Structure 1
């Protein structure tokens, strides 16, 4: 469970940002920053928390360390229990989002700079 968020975030970043940049489907810096930031937000910040909720619930049920909800209000129970976690994770999630957007910006600028270089073997006069 600890490796899955890292792998999905990396593969998604490559699929949504890096590959479209290389193939020419993404040619706008703002779009690159937005896509990078969204991948960082959803798959780098929210996805690990969403994965942790059922694992923690299963552990609480197995070891009876927390009172479990009644059958009718499971969704409201998990929402109420998860609110403090989301509040504490707000800064790391925002940091992850900004860092992924920054990486998207840097990758776009590097790609544009690479496209403007002359081909190897040609002399510049």
Structure 2
């Protein structure tokens, strides 16, 4: 049984192949995918109402930024990480405490960043 078993995750990613890869990696860790969404409005709706333990947010969603989702999660006290090719430089100051997982990444890097996001020790 994984330390991530049963963790409820929201995935916000607009590239379907990348979303499927992230979902597979998370499921391999024992996580439960609550929703996997590609559009900002739907992501905001789910982030506002769903029972979540953590979220993985791509920054660029078809030209829109996912920062409104991050703000909703922040207000609800739900931890989140950014999954992006922009690196830390793409994150605004008010969200700079969120871990950033730089694309492309491995399953091990996702696991480490997930542990960091949830406040647990990273395994190296």
- For normalisation by structure 2, the TM-score amounts to 0.23
Higher-RCO chain (CA-CA 8 Å, sequence separation at least 6): 1
Is the radius of gyration larger for structure 1 or structure 2? 1
